[in-house]
């Protein structure tokens, strides 16, 4: 992939940057600005060169039309604070406000266009519709830099189609993400351990299937562990269970045994009568009481997982071990994160809830080998898929 340096002298040039500013909000307050901070190196590099930077990004899931609660206004304010300079916010994406805002930019200044998903063409399955939006975006710029790793697995106008219309390069974030994740996918230093959590097995079917040919150990926690436990014949009470995936999981367990990949499942769990209850007890996974649900891996499981992580040379983690937002059910996730900090191996935190957990639980991000900004994109790379937003840059 070409880098920003390959674009030549950018002074006075309008550079369209696709960033990922899909940050969590409490009203208009950003509760985790990690994705904004991750975008700074690319934006600062362009601004230092005297480029006129035009940023496009999305927030939330608007239905292809403007919705006030998904405005990028809070992002523009926070980005300005972090950059130490004003960030002009256009009222629209490619309309009169966007054109006027871009036209007013001077060298070394930055503007943010309003939420790209306020335009239904951004996510259209129709190539012509996406192309029409990409044409309008491309008309605002002289070059394109793709730096929103969290969306490179999407064939969308501001990610894929606009790159076909302008001289393009990967930003520093996308380059770092691809390098780190490919290190795990293509030639991991062994032992290679993957930790998977989160709610659903179905979200990770592809990655589990691919990792059974690549990893040495798979550690399974989070809500998805109960489908594995059910596949082993255990009763799981009222815990999260995907009954329709039990047979698939049985196949994975058999495949792992045949291929010599060790699947490590929890041996104990914290259970409570209902979600959100702090009235919990620790039980063995083969003794989950009827009418209770598991909300975190137990202390013996946490120690088991930490031991496996500390003995690895490459570790990829995607998905929390429990309901980490509640202190009572955060210990399993905290133990995994601490082991990743303590290991001498190369650790990858695979974006999404895992990255949010690291920050919420107070870990220093510098303690990890790489923290991804893209949950879905990092999963698809681990799955071995070709990502449209990466493939379009590789020419």
Is 250 a residue of the active site? no
Is position 142 annotated in a ligand binding site?
no
Cis ω before 191 (30° cut-off from 0):
yes
Gap between the Cα atoms of 321 and 216, Å rounded:
20
By CB atoms closer than 10 A (0-12, 13-18, 19+), residue 269 is: buried
Is 352 a residue of the active site? yes
Is position 60 annotated in a ligand binding site?
yes
Is position 322 annotated in a ligand binding site?
no
Is position 204 annotated in a ligand binding site?
yes
Gap between the Cα atoms of 222 and 153, Å rounded:
24
Is position 35 annotated in a ligand binding site?
yes
* Alpha-carbon separation of residue 340 from 7, 174, 177, 384 (angstroms): 37, 22, 18, 23
Is position 148 annotated in a ligand binding site?
no
Gap between the Cα atoms of 8 and 218, Å rounded:
44
Nearest to 320 by CA among 309, 308, 332: 332
Is position 352 annotated in a ligand binding site?
yes
Catalytic residue among 12, 108, 376, 384: 376
Gap between the Cα atoms of 140 and 112, Å rounded:
12
Catalytic residue among 35, 121, 155, 217: 35
Is position 325 annotated in a ligand binding site?
yes
CA 256 distance to own-chain centroid: 27
Q: What is the bridge-based pairing of β-strands 281-284 and 268-272? A: antiparallel
Catalytic residue among 37, 165, 200, 313: 200
Is 35 a residue of the active site? yes
Nearest to 204 by CA among 180, 229, 221: 221
Is position 20 annotated in a ligand binding site?
yes
Nearest to 178 by CA among 346, 35, 387, 344: 387
Is position 294 annotated in a ligand binding site?
yes
Is position 117 annotated in a ligand binding site?
yes
Is 209 a residue of the active site? no
Gap between the Cα atoms of 183 and 147, Å rounded:
19
Contacts of 225 (CB under 8 A, 6+ apart): 197, 265, 266, 269, 294, 297
Catalytic residue among 352, 374, 375, 389: 352
Helices within the chain (DSSP H only): 34-48, 73-83, 96-103, 127-138, 172-186, 205-211, 225-231, 246-259, 299-310, 331-342, 352-360, 375-382, 388-391
Nearest to 267 by CA among 250, 280, 284, 251: 284
Name the residues annotated as catalytic: 35, 200, 352, 376
Residues tagged in the binding site annotation for ATP: 204, 294, 325, 351-354
Residues tagged in the binding site annotation for (2R)-3-phosphoglycerate: 35, 117, 154
Residues tagged in the binding site annotation for substrate: 20-22, 35, 58-61, 117, 154
Residues tagged in the binding site annotation: 20-22, 35, 58-61, 117, 154, 204, 294, 325, 351-354
């Amino acid at each position: 992939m070409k880098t920003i340096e390959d674009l030549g002298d950018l002074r006075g040039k309008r550079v369209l940057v696709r960033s990922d500013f899909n940050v969590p909000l409490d009203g208009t307050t950003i509760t985790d600005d990690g994705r904004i901070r991750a975008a700074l190196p690319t934006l600062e590099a362009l601004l230092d060169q005297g480029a006129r930077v035009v940023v496009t990004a999305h927030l939330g899931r608007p239905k292809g039309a403007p919705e006030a609660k998904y405005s990028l206004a809070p992002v523009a304010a926070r980005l300005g604070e972090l950059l130490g300079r004003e960030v002009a916010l256009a009222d629209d994406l490619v309309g009169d406000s966007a054109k006027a805002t871009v036209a007013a930019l001077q060298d070394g200044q930055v503007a943010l266009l309003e939420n790209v998903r306020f335009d239904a063409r951004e996510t259209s399955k129709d190539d012509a519709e996406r192309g029409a939006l990409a044409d309008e975006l491309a008309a605002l710029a002289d070059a394109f830099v793709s730096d929103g790793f969290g969306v490179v697995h999407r064939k969308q106008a501001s990610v894929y189609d606009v790159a076909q219309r302008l001289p393009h390069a990967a930003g520093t974030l996308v380059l770092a993400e691809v390098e780190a994740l490919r290190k795990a996918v293509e030639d991991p230093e062994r032992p290679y351990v993957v930790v998977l959590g989160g709610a659903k097995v179905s979200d990770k079917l592809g990655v589990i299937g691919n990792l059974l040919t690549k990893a040495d150990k798979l550690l399974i926690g989070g809500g998805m562990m109960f489908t594995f436990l059910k596949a082993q014949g255990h009763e799981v009470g009222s815990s999260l269970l995907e009954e329709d995936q039990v047979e698939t999981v049985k196949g994975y367990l058999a495949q792992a045994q045949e291929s010599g990949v060790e699947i490590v499942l929890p041996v104990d769990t914290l259970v409570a009568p209902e979600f959100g209850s702090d009235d919990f007890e620790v039980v063995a996974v083969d003794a989950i009481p009827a009418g209770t649900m598991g909300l975190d891996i137990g202390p013996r499981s946490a120690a088991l997982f930490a031991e496996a992580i500390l003995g690895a040379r490459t570790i990829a983690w995607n998905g929390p071990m429990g309901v980490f937002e509640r202190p009572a059910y955060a210990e399993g996730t905290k133990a995994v994160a601490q082991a990743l900090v303590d290991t001498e191996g190369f650790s990858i935190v695979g974006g999404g809830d895992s990255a949010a957990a690291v920050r919420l639980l107070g870990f220093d991000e510098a303690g990890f080998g790489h923290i991804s900004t893209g949950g879905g994109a990092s999963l698809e790379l681990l799955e071995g898929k070709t990502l449209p937003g990466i493939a379009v840059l590789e020419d």
